[in-house]
Structures are given as C-alpha cells and as structure tokens.
A and B are shown apart, each in its own frame.
Chain A
Amino acid sequence: MNDDWIRILNSAQGFTINKKFINLGTKIPLLSIDIDTKPFYFLWLELYPLLMNSNSNSIELIVDDNDKVNNCILHKSNKDGMYTEAIKIEVDTLPNLTTSLRNVGEIYNILRVWVKKTNNIDIGNLRIIPLTFINDIVSIHEKYVKNGINNDFLKMIGEYFDVIVNNRNQQVLLCYPPSPLFEFLTKFYKYFENFSYYDIMKAFRRYLPKSKMTVTFRLKEDSAFLSYFINITKSRITFQYVPIPDYIFSKISSNKIEEIILKFLTKDCKTKLNLIFQLDDIIELIFEVIQSQFPLQKERFLLIEEKFLNFYRSIGIPWDMDPKPYIYNNNFRFWIYFLGFYINPRKLSFWSIPTLLQSFLSMFFNLSGNILLITGKKLPNLIDTQKIDKLNGFNVSMNDGMVEKIQYINDNELQNILSTIKNKNLGHSKGDINKKSILSQIRTEFSNEKSFVSSIIWISDDMISKIVNILLIDFHQSNRFSGRKLVRILRLFRKNKHFSVFPENPLYRRVKMQNSLQFLKSITPILTDLHEF
C-alpha cells in the first residue's frame, strides 16, 4: 500500500471520528494527479458507484495464474461508504472456496457470511483480481509516470481500459455485484471488436487542440470543489491542482460560490476558459451511456443525445463557465436576432435536434448498408507518383441509422486499393482518362475487392482537429463571436481537401453550393427553440 493511499485512509478515518478534515496533499492512486484528501473523499463517494456499484465494505482476493488466492484485503468503510481501513486477512484463515472463482456470486455469499462471523463486518462488494492484472497496471503506470509527472494521461487510460477488457474477457477480473464501468467497457468491446481503447485515446489525443483551461468539479458537499489547471500542449497534458482558498467559502452565500470560484480561477490561472461542472450531473450522464444495451437501439441513442444537449443548454445549473462568450449576452443576441440569426445555446432545441438530425442523415446518407470512412492528412491524388500519406479507413456497417459494426481498414489495404486504381488508370489511353472522382474509384475498387460500400466519406485530420478545436475551445471563448465559428465549420465541409462524400447527396451538395452564412441562417431556427424575447 503506498503512502498516498495510507494518507487518504488516515484522513477519512480522522473525518469519521472527529467530523473534521485535516486537509493533506496526496495523489489520486493509479493516475498520479495531485489532490487534497478532502476533495478526494467526496470524489471517491461519487465515483465509486460507477466503478464498483455501491459504496460499502469490500473484500479483495488477489489470485495467481492458477486461481490460488495469494492475498486477501478487507476494506472497511465508514457510514458514507468511504474506505477508512484496510485489514489484511491471512489467506490460510479463509474458508474453503471449493467452487470455481468464476462463480463469483457464490464466493461472495460464502465470504459475506464468514466476514460477518469473524470480523463483524457486512461486505457489499467482492473483487477477484489476478496478480498479472496488478502487475500490468503497475507497469503501465510506471511507463507513463516518471518522476511524478504523467507523460500521456489519455494513452495511459486507454491502456488501463485494454488491460481491464482483456482480463474481463478471460474471466479473471471479477466483481460482485458487477462493476458498471467494467461491464460497459467489455460490452462495447465485444460488440465492435478488433479495436483497442489505446488507439481510440491515441486518436482523440491527436485531435485535441492546444489550450489552457481550468476545470472545476463541484462535489456533493457544499465546500468541496476540485479544480485543475489543464495545459494541453503538443507533447503532453498536465493537470495542476488548484486548491480553493477557505476565505471564499466563508464570505458568500452558497448560490454565488461557483461564480466567485470561477472569477478566482480566471484571475489566478490567467485562463480564458474556465469551466465548472456538478459532478453528480456528469455521473448521471455517464450512467445513461454505460447502462445502454448493445446493439444500441435508435430510441435509446436519441434519448442519450437529448440528455447531453439538455445538459449543454442548461448552462448555469449543471455546468457554467467564465468568462462567457458574447452569445450569452442578451443585448448582443438581440442584434444577432435582428439580423436573422437565431443562435442561442440556452434555447438549443434539445428535444428535436437528435430526431431531425437522424432523419436528415437517414434520408440522404445510405444508413442501411456500409459506409467507408477514410481519414488522413491529405486526400490521395491519383496522378501524383509520390508516396501517398498514411490513411486510416473504417468500414461502418449500418442499419436504420445505427452503427452495427466497425471494421478497421489499415493503411496497407488502402494503399493496395489505390495502387490498383493507379495501375488501371495507367492502362487507359490519354484521351480515355478515367474522369471519375477519386472517391468513386475507391468505392468501386473497394466494393470489388473487399465488401460493397454504398457511400464513401473523406475527412482530413486537419478538419477533425479544427472542428474539435472550434466546438470545444473557440466556441466558448469570450472574445469570439460564436456564429463566425459555426460558419468556419460549414466552410470546412465545402472544401474537398477537407471533406468529401461520394455519392454527392443533395444535402452535401447544398452545403457545398450555398453561401455558408446563408446556410447557417437557414439552419439556426431549426436548432433553436423560438420565443426568445
């Protein structure tokens, strides 16, 4: 048990006895992110149900490759459900677990009775953790965290998830009652197959824009706030814990506290983007996602989308930011309305957007069939003899507008298809050059060689980065006019080098042909609920 964990337990024990926190500095176990013991206490209480189902006493069996129990720890928790003590149990004293470890429910019942009898503790959770799993996690942690500095947070999380899923698939990492998060990660993996969470995180990391911001979580207790200054650079993401000074809590009423904290962070960290979230609202959203069954039904998907949009539009309640962009200023918005632009994030039509979006996409894109999605730096040019940049392909099988399966197409396979097309084109005489678009030719060749694809979509890496940057950062910066940012996104869709679709459906052609500002003007009343002033 490392020092950080001991400090956390001691602090929790102290709070349980004295009802007062001695706020000690520590690190979040396995993530190596600085935190104080008080916010950690409340963070644990909120996140634990996501990880392990319910806050209660737990027992942990650490087993070797032969399913032999090597170690046993009883985690005693206080009334709130926070661990206060770790009791090591001698393995020899454990009752005879004759049944297979896979029968986790049965083992839980045996241990529950035994722990009650020997230690007078009611256990609510049982975890069976293979030794190899612990070793893997430790080695991943060591790989990414050197001298207390985390070099690549997202990739590390990706690798953790992969190890969890591997162990779950081999049925060696077991929890009773089941862990909602682990169950979801496993279900998601089983449904889509042939991917790794590491790759997803890697891709996500690639598209994250450079930025400096503060993110604060309001925990259940009134004075428990968890703030981080996050600096995303090209090489790494750093989290710097920002303790909130006590004087802030003593002076003001609780409903203004968030506002004051945001102002404090803006001043203290000199950041232009400061966000605050109610952690329980975020956990509620995460539960909505992870409790979904696969294959995900259209209705469920729409409901989740609606909940996310509703969360976003309810600025001021589940989340807030400072300084706010111009678009949240009523006077400014009046003039925007006057010019015919119905942009108001607070009036986002959360209940209709998912349905309308799904309808329009199902109507114009072939959403029952296969779609080939290609991403890369540059759209390949069939005339160039130079080597084509690396490409990534995803063959997305859809039915009724919902993704059924995603097959990853690696660079080699795509390069082979492109060279076949080039060779075929070389065979043509000069006057008989294939005039079809590159995407059309890829579709034909891919359909002949692999499987039939009804649509093909090209998105450049640059465009994904730009969209992520605009939606996450630019759109929420106070000194920018949000409408201009939306126009910039629409303009990206008009440039073939960034985005291209074959066959060119009418919706895409409309976006391409119409002036982006005009197009924005025509779609904003769809996205916004009217009745503004």
Chain B
Amino acid sequence: MITDSRELVVIAVGSNATESLNNGLNLLGGLSKFLSKEDNVLILIDLQCPFTCPSSVNQETFSALLGNIKLIGVKKVQILPGVMWGIDQKKALDSLGLGDIIQNYDATLITYEELYKFSAPLIDEVTKIICLSQIRTEPLWKLTGSSYLMWYFNPPNKRWKNISNYKNKYEDERVQYVFEFLERKIPTLYINDCYFLLTGNGPFAWNTTKSVKTKRIFLSNNIMAVDWVTYEHFGLDPIKNLFIRKASELNLIDKKSINLNSQVQSTYPSLKFPETEPSNINLEGLTIFSGELNSGERYALLQFLFMIKNLLFKDSLNFGKWAIIAGKNPPDPEIDCDIIVFGDSAIKSSKKYKFRTITEKRSEIINLMGFEIGVGETLEGDELEKAILIQQRKIRQKIEKTRKKYGELIATINNLVQTSDEEAKSDKEETKLKLQMRMDLKINKYQYKIEKLRINIIAKHKKQAIKNKLLDLDLNERVLEIPGNPPLGWDPLVYLTHFWQNKQISTLNLFIQISREYYTFPKYNKSKIRANMKSERKKIEKRDKEKNRQLKSKNKSELNIIENELKSNLKNLELNFKKNTKRIKKKHIREGGKNE
C-alpha cells in the first residue's frame, strides 16, 4: 500500500457542530489514531470572555470533542482556557458554562500558574495537546487559526514582556513564540472550528460583527497545513498569516505538501474583514491623530477603538468634540476638545505639544445687565474700529433721540398760530433758543462720551496686547493619558470612566461594573494623578516665570507709555468738551441778546 506522505487536512460539514466534528474525526481516521488510554491530554481553547460563541469556543464542538476523548478513556484530560490580558481563567470558564461541561466529562481546568509552576510544571507531564481554535476575522491576522491560538500557551503577563521592552516586534514575537513552542512540544491535533464564524470587526466590536453559519470544521495534525487550507478556503492568501509566511520562507510548507480531503466542493464566499486603519473607525465627534504606530500599538489601538465604538455608541453624543492621539510623533491637534493620549510612545513624544497647555488666558467679555465687562480678544485695525462702533452705538442712538426730541419741540413752537403780540413773539423766540441750546449741550456731552469711549477702548486693547506678550500658560486638564506600551486589554476603559462624568458614559460604566467580576482592572490612583498634575502645573508656571522675567520690564515701560498717553488724551478731551460747552452757551446768549 502506498501511503501519502503529504499532510492530511480535512474539511467536514454537518447539520450541527457535533456532526461536523465527528465527520471530521472520521475523515482523519478516528480520534483513537491520535490518542491512547495512557495519554495525559491538554486541550487549549479560545476564550474571549465574556463574549460567547463565535467569539469564544463553541460549547457544542467542545462538548463533542470531550465526548470523543472520553470514549477513548484517556488517563487525564486538562483544559487550558486561552484568555486575553486581565481575564480570570476560572471565572471566564464558568461564566460561559464550560466549567459544567468539563465536569460532565471528568476533565479538569488547568491555569497558567499550574501549567508553568516553577517547582513542577505540569506542561512536562502532558503527552498530547489538542488546539481547538474558534475562527473569527481579526485586523492583523485577517483570520484567527491554530497558529494564532498557539500564542495563548504563553501566559498573558509574559506575552507582551518582550514587546513592551522594545526587544521584539509584536508580529515577530508571536511567530517566534509558536516556533519555539513547537520545538518543545508538537500538538497532536489542530481543530479550526468555523461552524459559526465571526466576521466584521471581531469580538470587541460586537455590534459591528456578524455571525455566519458555515457549518465547516477544519482538522489536521499539522498546524501549517490546517491554517493554509483554512485561509485558502475563505479566499485569503495563506501568506497573509504571519506564521505561514515565515514557515513558507523556511520551506516548511507549500501547497503541494497538503493532502486535502473535503466534504465541500467550493470555497466559501468572501467574508467581511475588520477595519485595519484606525482613522477609518468613525465615532460621533471623534478625530484620530496617529503618528508612527508599530504593529503592537496598532493592534492595541484597533482593539481599543473597536471597544469604544460599541461602548460609546450612544454616549459619544454627550462629549462634543474629542480626539485620540496615538503612536510616535503624532500631529499636534490644535483643537479645543477632550484629548486622549493613547500609549507610552504618544505620551512621551507629545510632552511638549501645544495641546498640553492652555496657551492664551483670554479675559472673556462678561455681559452683566447690558454692561460689557472685560476686553475679550485683542483687536487691531478695522476689527478694532468695528468693535468701537458697536460699543458706541447706544450713545449715537441717544444723540439721534435728542435731536428728534428737541427738533419736534422747536417745530411745534414754529407751528403755533402767528400772533401780532410782540411780547408773545419774543417769548416764543426765547423758548426756541433755550431748547436749541439744551440740545446742543446734550449732543456735546454725548460726543464727549463717544470720544472718551473710543480712547478707553483703544488703550484697553493696546494694554491687553502687551500683557498677552507675557506667557500665562496653564495645564490643559482636558487631556487624558492612557499609559501602557501598548495599553492592554480593557485597562484603558477604566481611565475613561474617571475622565468623563458617570451619566456621560453610562454604557461604559455598566460594562465595567459587569466585567469587574472576571477582569482585573488596574487601580486608578486619584491622588497620584492629582500629584502628577500639580507637579506638571508647577513646571509650567516655572517655565512661564523664567520666560516672562525678561519680557516684564520691557512691557512695564510700554504699559506706562500707554497709560500716560491715555491720561493726556482724556485730559485734552475734557478740555475740549468744556471749551465747547462754553462756546455753545456764549453763542446762544449772544443770539438771545440780538433778538432782544
């Protein structure tokens, strides 16, 4: 009998997940081909708690697999839930109802601590490994598969260690880990479960995803072959899988080396893959400013954006404008809004950015019962003239009113019935003159006020312009820093809850309340944050002081000049006003004498 040396991959279908798995195992030659009674079996499962199937393992496939293993009667079956950063393995297992299934099949849960216990690591006792991966679309890997899940053999705290210390790139670290693991232990069976397949933006963005029932399960004892076939089946170039790319470069896999036994004839119609460009993720009022993002940062940022896209779906309407800054050397957003600085590299490189401080402390104009107090924005030229005219408009209206009022009075006197009585005639003329004089005096007074207002406004703006030369910076408190290199898991969410008010982010708050049960959120140290802000503020003040020291003396002399100029102008104006008042009075007295 000629045996095929190529790697066998099977694609099985069924009316339910149990049937699909059983068909697949039969096509592979039965599970007993891989396991024996003496074996100590470890099963790695995908657990994206609290998200249920198809984000996490399909309970039915898992149950069917355990049922098949139980039939063989292996010595020991242990389950390792592959969880993301911060998730408690046991609680996650129970909340998804898997603890009960494990118990039903006499299997046991094994945690990362037990698996890699320093004194006696249980991984050494394991004789067979099965990887049961739930397939879903993913931004960087396009599709999760066995090679994606293998990284979850690594405990969460060790996964990001090298990446955080800039020793390794995110994708290289993942691929390297899988190769290293395969050098130590080679799993016996890989199951890529696509019975239900999650498409769209992945488990974190559960309202932009869609579960597709493909009814297919892929099985093989070769990790590269099973992922190669899975990728190809869903219309993807297998080289897009970073692990396969490396394996292909090392000539460990090619298409010819795969023997495919499929129950389905055609490949699956195209899937909807996740968004890979952070700036394309839209949320009400949000602008994303990203600098140079390395793959780890990009991955974490995308996960964060997917999460907030759901959790702030409604709440983002309560923020107004807001921005997220991420990556190395991001653009400096010159906008007046809430700013989230995501990750250590963005925090470091934006330390001296303009948005960190409120650069201009403008004294606002306060309108109190119709009186405008303060200067507002410093103006020059036409804009200043316009502002002056606006402020003068009330006095001008008064002039018009006065003219109208006295004009009407004089006209009424003129229209009185003509009389031959000389005394009455002179009385009439006298009254007219008196009215004319009063009108002129009032207008003169108003014109004096108009000019005075003009001089004062010009002086105010000149003074403000000089004062503005002095740096009067303050810390921008509308900036939130989310530390981490990159920030992992759901840790960033807790920072958001302290940044915005409770009622603004009610959905996020509810999610955090619920997930505290199985996720360890970082402690938010308010006093430490306040102390940091205080020291930042002091630094800014110190910087201001140093820069202002030189400017102050120069400004002082300029201010004195303006002050003196103002005083003399006002004095001249007053003199003119008095002169004009005298002139008007004289003129009318003279005219009165003539008439007499």
Contact = CB atoms under 8 A, between A and B. Distances in A.
Interface of A: 298, 342, 349, 352, 355-356, 358-359, 362-369, 399-401, 436, 440, 443-444, 447, 451-452, 454-455, 502-507, 509-510, 514, 522-523, 525-526, 529-530
B210 A400 contact: yes
Contact of B196 (A364, A369, A436, A502): A369
B309 to A, nearest CB: 11
Contacts of B50: 363-364, 505-507
26 contacts: A352-B313, A355-B207, A356-B207, A359-B313, A364-B50, A366-B59, A366-B97, A368-B54, A369-B60, A399-B196, A399-B213, A444-B100, A454-B53, A454-B60, A455-B97, A502-B97, A503-B97, A505-B52, A506-B515, A506-B517, A506-B518, A509-B95, A522-B510, A525-B502, A525-B503, A526-B314
Nearest to B502: A525
Given A356-B313, A452-B16, A530-B503, 5 more contacts: A359-B206, A363-B206, A505-B52, A506-B95, A506-B515
A368 B196 contact: yes
B547 to A, nearest CB: 43
B314 A447 contact: no
B59 to A, nearest CB: 5
Interface string B9-22: 00000001110000
A366 B52 CA distance: 5
B290 interface: no
Nearest to B199: A400
Nearest to A451: B16
B513 interface: yes
Interface in B158-204: 196
A506 B510 contact: no
B503 A369 contact: no
A523 B510 contact: yes
Interface residues of B, number: 46
Contacts, number: 121
A529 B515 CA distance: 24
A454 B97 contact: yes
A351 to B, nearest CB: 8
B25 to A, nearest CB: 17
Interface of B: 16-18, 50-54, 58-60, 63-64, 94-100, 103-104, 196, 206-207, 210-213, 310, 313-314, 317-318, 502-504, 506-507, 509-510, 513-515, 517-518
A506 B59 contact: no
Given A364-B52, A368-B54, A444-B104, A359 B207 contact: yes
Q: Which 8 A-B pairs have the closest CB atoms?
A: A503-B97, A525-B506, A352-B314, A400-B211, A366-B52, A359-B207, A452-B60, A368-B196
Contacts of B318: 530
A503 B513 contact: no
B211 A399 contact: yes
B95 A504 contact: yes
Nearest to B17: A452
A13 to B, nearest CB: 55
Nearest to A352: B314
B63 A369 contact: no
A342 B212 CA distance: 37
Contacts of A451: 16
Nearest to B56: A366
B95 A440 contact: no
B313 A506 contact: no
A298 B16 CA distance: 22
A359 B311 CA distance: 10
Nearest to A364: B50
A367 B58 CA distance: 11
A523 B213 CA distance: 33
B519 to A, nearest CB: 10
B59 A369 contact: yes
A504 B93 CA distance: 11
B513 A522 contact: yes
Contacts of B503: 342, 525, 530
Contacts of B60: 369, 452, 454
Contacts of B103: 436
Contacts of A401: 211
B206 A436 contact: no
A503 B97 CA distance: 5
A153 B480 CA distance: 62
B314 A507 contact: no
B139 to A, nearest CB: 19
B52 A298 contact: no
B53 A443 contact: no
A530 B316 CA distance: 12
A440 B100 contact: yes
A362 B53 contact: no
Given A366-B52, A452-B16, A522 B100 contact: no
A264 B14 CA distance: 64
